[in-house]
Amino acid sequence: MAERMRAVVKVDESPGEAGTAVTDRALPEIGPDEVLLRVRATSICGSDRHIFHWDPPIRKTIQPPRVYGHEFCGEVAEVGRNASRPDLRPGDAASAEMHVTCGTCYLCRTGRGHVCARTKILGFHEDGCFAEYVKVPAGNVIRLDTAIAPLRVGAFLDALGNAVHTIEDERISGDRVAILGYGPIGAMAAALAHHLSAAEIYVLDVSDRALAQARAWAESKAATNVRVLSTSGEAAASALQEVLERTGGGVDLVLEMSGAESAINMGLKMLRHGGRMSLLGIPSRRELTLADYTHDLIFKGVTLNAIIGRRMFSTWHRMLSLLESGLDVGFVVTREFPSLDHFHEGMALFDSHEALKVVFYPDGKGSW
């Protein structure tokens, strides 16, 4: 193993390219309960964009200099001498849950660590995976079966886990589903809804580029039960009208991926009485006004589920099983780069929404 590695570092508080450097760093040294992983593929998440731009909400979670990145897969390089993971050997394909929970609070001790209030995130509070190597607590390592995932899909299992967690408590087969926002997670949610045999799928977005991507996906799958609708400006009212008419009163399930106040309110109106809505999107402002709380929530008797992270580790197991059963999400990767040195180029594409998902292969090899 080399002693130095390439890494993408948030070097100081400057926003944009000036504040992020692709540079050399010492390899992380693992403690007795940690595992060192060689990063084979890593991808950019929306929150990395906030780090890159040094957006206000992200500032208090990061202290530069910091290696960022939290979506990746790779191989086990070294296992700490006290790690209780007899199932891990150097060379094993692996990914990792990058939320590190306290392990002792009520929620951690009762199987709900994904909502632990003391969670630390690698790539934010500690160094992340935009690097050739990353260290993680042994318990957070997810062993992979190389057979089940193309390498580029392995690059964003963390994000796929968000999408899977959004729907895993919901029955979806045979249901009518609306997806608000066709970014990377919205796109994966659409793929999941289709894979799990939703009866009807409505994809809504304000961006023409996103709508075109959604239509291209639906066509590639010959998915005749998918309708892609613009909610830009005046089109929003007719999109709502169309969904209500086609469903005879509203969809069973809304997956809110946009964080836009207008979308959240439209989602409530789009829901049938007694329907369910999963909330994943994060607004840019703290305050959010519900347009008609009494009629849209109370009188309809709806259920809202706010989604954060992924279950540790049942969502991971389920995600891997779904990939094994044929779930195809590789299409969200629209650009791949053979090294981290292309980071600024990749971030520019991601930032402008030209690419849904951008993947880097730190060792230059794009397959297992």
| Nearest distance in Å: CB 178, a copy of itself | 15
| Nearest distance in Å: CB 33, a copy of itself | 8
| Nearest distance in Å: CB 59, a copy of itself | 15
Residue with tokens 């692709």: 22
Q: Which is nearer to a copy of itself, 21 or 304 (CB)?
A: 304
Question: Taking the CB of residue 75, how many other CB atoms lie within 10 A of it?
Answer: 18
Contact 9, 344 (CB under 8 A): no
Cβ contacts of 212 within 8 Å, gap of 6 or more = none
Strand-by-strand arrangement of the 4-10 sheet: 20-26, 4-10, 66-67
Q: Which is nearer to a copy of itself, 201 or 358 (CB)?
A: 201
| Nearest distance in Å: CB 360, a copy of itself | 28
Cβ contacts of 163 within 8 Å, gap of 6 or more = 185, 188, 189, 192
Of the candidates 229, 291, 287, the one whose C-alpha atom is nearest the C-alpha of residue 266 is: 291
CA angle at residue 46 from 94 to 137, to 5 degrees? 30
Q: Which is nearer to a copy of itself, 33 or 363 (CB)?
A: 33
Q: Which is nearer to a copy of itself, 4 or 246 (CB)?
A: 246
Of the candidates 352, 356, 362, the one whose C-alpha atom is nearest the C-alpha of residue 53 is: 352
| Nearest distance in Å: CB 347, a copy of itself | 23
Pairwise CA distance, residues 129 & 138, whole Å:
15
SS (H, E, C) 224-235: CCEEEEECCCCH
| Nearest distance in Å: CB 122, a copy of itself | 17
Pairwise CA distance, residues 39 & 339, whole Å:
11
Pairwise CA distance, residues 81 & 334, whole Å:
40
Q: Which is nearer to a copy of itself, 307 or 347 (CB)?
A: 307
For residue 313, say if its preceding peptide bond is cis, omega within 30 degrees of 0: yes
Q: Which is nearer to a copy of itself, 14 or 197 (CB)?
A: 197
| Nearest distance in Å: CB 181, a copy of itself | 14
Q: Which is nearer to a copy of itself, 216 or 291 (CB)?
A: 291
